[in-house]
Amino acid sequence: MARLCIVGTGHVGLVYAIAFTLQGHEVHATDVDAKAIASLQKGTPTFYEPGLKKALQKALRTKRLTFSTDVKAGARDAEAIFTCVGTPSREDGSIDLAYVEAAARTVGEIEAGAPARITAALAALREDHLRRARDEIATIEAELAALEGREADGPAERERFGQAVERVVSAVLGET
């Protein structure tokens, strides 16, 4: 079983931390939010998900899950570091990676190789996502162009249009 570090104990990081712990791994979960860490140490999640509180308390009882605000200490001995900080959208729709960069810098102060791997993986994921979204949007544009000028209120057209809209939404959300 591995020693893991989670950076960011929000919606994604906390659930990962609990799940990895219950699978038998040793997990050090870290966050810059001292109030959130204090709450998690006491077994109280900072947000609601069905069953989350019970799962957190079960994970804490194993003694393999610890929480702290000391990101460097958590990352120092870890075999793998999961960066789960927020990536909010800017007004123009682009992704704000400032939190990811800040977390990578902190981890980079203790292990020179880790941030490069994190950045490379992130860039590859982003490129892959953008490529798939671009392909999907091009296909949908072609389909809509083919529909143009035709009677568009029949059930078949409405269904095709609905499917096209769903695929745009999925492409934007990265679910394609």
| Interatomic CA distance for residues 69 and 30, integer angstroms | 5
Q: Which residue is nearest to ligand NAD (CB)?
A: 10
104 belongs to the binding site for ligand NAD (CB under 6 A): no
Farthest CA pair distance, the chain: 66
32 belongs to the binding site for ligand NAD (CB under 6 A): yes
| Interatomic CA distance for residues 12 and 10, integer angstroms | 6
Taking the complex as a whole, the smallest distance from the CB of residue 30 to ligand NAD amounts, in Å, to 6
Taking the complex as a whole, the smallest distance from the CB of residue 55 to ligand NAD amounts, in Å, to 16
| Interatomic CA distance for residues 166 and 89, integer angstroms | 20
78 belongs to the binding site for ligand NAD (CB under 6 A): no
- Edge-to-edge strand order for the sheet containing 3-7? 65-68, 26-30, 3-7, 80-83
* Candidate segments 29-37, 57-65, 132-140, 150-158, binder of ligand NAD by CB under 6 A: 29-37
Select from 71, 78, 114, 171 the one that contacts ligand NAD (CB under 6 A).
71
10 belongs to the binding site for ligand NAD (CB under 6 A): yes
Query: Where do runs of H (alpha helix) occur along 51-113?
Result: 52-61, 71-76, 98-108
Number of residues that make up the chain: 176
- Give the footprint of ligand NAD on this chain (CB under 6 A): 7-13, 30-33, 36, 71, 84-87, 99, 102-103, 106
